Structure 1
Amino acid sequence: MLPTRPAPEPADATGPAPRPATVRTTGRMTDTITLPDFTLNRREGFRLLVLLEDDGAGPSGKTPKITAGGRLRGGRIIRRAGPTRRRRAALISMVLAVALGVGGGVYVSNRSLALNATYSSGRLTVTGSTAFSPLAHEVKEAYEEQCAQAEVALDAVGSDQGLARLRQNPAAETIAMVDTVAGQEPEKGMDAHRVGVVVYAVVANRQLARDLGAGPSLWGRGLTQEQLARIFTGKKVEDADGRLADSTPVAVLREEGSGTRKVFESRVIGTEHGTPAYCALPAPGEAPNESTAQAAPRTCSVKSTTELLDCVNRTPNAIGYAEADALPFFPNVRTVPINTTPPTKEEVLDGDYGFWASEVLYTREDATGLTRNFLDFLRSRGISKLLEGQGFLPCRELRDAAVEGMRCGDA
Structure 2
Amino acid sequence: MGSLFTPENVIALLTALLGVATSAGVLWYERRVPRRKRIGYRVQMDTPIGSEVSQGRASVRLGLFNETPDMADATLVLLRVENDGSQSIGDEDYTGRGELNGLTAEFTGRTVRGIAVTHSPDAEHLMDHFTPAAGLRHDGSVIRLPRVPLNRNEHFKLLVLLTGSHVGGPIRVSGGIRDGVVARNKAARPDEKPPLFGPAARIITVALTTCVVTLAGIILVRDDSPPPMDCAQGTLTVTGSTAFEPVMEELKEKYEDECEGAGIRLEIHGSNAGVRKLAATGLEAGSDGSPSMIALSDGPRPAALTELHGKRVAISLFSLVVNDTVPVKDLSLDQIRRIYRGEVRNWNEVVEGGPDLDIRLVSRDADSGTREVFQRRVLGANELATSSRDCVTKDYADAPVLRCELDGTDQVLSEVAELDGAIGYTELRGGAVPDGAHRTAIDGTTPSLKSIATSSYPYREIEYAYTYGSPPANSLVAGFLNYLDNYGEEIMRTNGHLPCATPEGMRLCGEGWVVPE
In the superposition, the TM-score normalised over structure 2's length comes to 0.49
**Alignment match, 2:411:** 307
Q: Work out whether residues 240 and 272 of structure 2, in 8 Å CA contact, stay in contact via their aligned partners in 1.
A: yes
CA gap 1:231/1:268 in 2 versus in 1, 3 angstroms: same
1:225 has 2:333 as partner = yes
C-alpha distance in structure 2 between counterparts of 1:383 and 1:270, whole Å: 32
Secondary structure class of the residue paired with 1:405:
coil
C-alpha distance in structure 2 between counterparts of 1:402 and 1:118, whole Å: 23
Identity rate of aligned residues, in percent?
Answer: 27
1:168 has 2:280 as partner = yes
CA gap 1:156/1:315 in 2 versus in 1, 3 angstroms: same
Q: 1:126 aligns with which of 234, 238, 261?
A: 238
Task: Please tell me the residue identity of whatever aligns with 1:180.
Answer: G
C-alpha distance in structure 1 between counterparts of 2:488 and 2:316, whole Å: 15
Q: Work out whether residues 256 and 262 of structure 2, in 8 Å CA contact, stay in contact via their aligned partners in 1.
A: yes
Q: Work out whether residues 208 and 249 of structure 1, in 8 Å CA contact, stay in contact via their aligned partners in 2.
A: no
C-alpha distance in structure 2 between counterparts of 1:85 and 1:359, whole Å: 40
Task: Please tell me the residue identity of whatever aligns with 1:147.
Answer: C
CA gap 1:184/1:276 in 2 versus in 1, 3 angstroms: same
**Alignment match, 2:492:** 387
RMSD between aligned alpha carbons?
3.2
C-alpha distance in structure 2 between counterparts of 1:224 and 1:86, whole Å: 57
Secondary structure class of the residue paired with 1:196:
strand
| Shift in Å, 1:402 | 10
1:268 has 2:392 as partner = no
- Residue ranges of structure 1 left out of the alignment (5+ in a row): 5-82, 91-113, 210-217, 282-291, 407-411
- Aligned pairs (5 A) from 1:270-289: 270-277=380-387, 279-280=389-390
CA gap 1:84/1:348 in 2 versus in 1, 3 angstroms: farther
Which structure's residues are more often strand, by fraction? 2
Q: Work out whether residues 326 and 354 of structure 2, in 8 Å CA contact, stay in contact via their aligned partners in 1.
A: no
CA gap 1:149/1:197 in 2 versus in 1, 3 angstroms: same
| Shift in Å, 1:392 | 0.4
Spell out, residue by residue over 1:19-41, the C-alpha distance to the aligned partner (whole angstroms, 9 max, x if none): xxxxxxxxxxxxxxxxxxxxxxx
Q: 2:506 aligns with which of 399, 406, 410?
A: 399
Q: Work out whether residues 412 and 424 of structure 2, in 8 Å CA contact, stay in contact via their aligned partners in 1.
A: yes
**Alignment match, 1:194:** 312
Spell out, residue by residue over 1:107-154, the C-alpha distance to the aligned partner (whole angstroms, 9 max, x if none): xxxxxxx98352222111000111111111111111100112111000
| Shift in Å, 1:206 | 0.9
Secondary structure class of the residue paired with 1:188:
coil
| Shift in Å, 1:321 | 0.6
Secondary structure class of the residue paired with 2:325:
helix
Q: 1:254 aligns with which of 361, 364, 373?
A: 364
**Alignment match, 1:377:** 483
Task: Please tell me the residue identity of whatever aligns with 1:135.
Answer: V
> Looking at CA atoms only, which structure, 1 or 2, has the larger radius of gyration?
2
In the superposition, the TM-score normalised over structure 1's length comes to 0.61
Secondary structure class of the residue paired with 1:193:
strand
Q: Work out whether residues 117 and 143 of structure 1, in 8 Å CA contact, stay in contact via their aligned partners in 2.
A: no
CA gap 1:119/1:317 in 2 versus in 1, 3 angstroms: same
C-alpha distance in structure 1 between counterparts of 2:220 and 2:306, whole Å: 43
Q: Work out whether residues 385 and 403 of structure 2, in 8 Å CA contact, stay in contact via their aligned partners in 1.
A: no
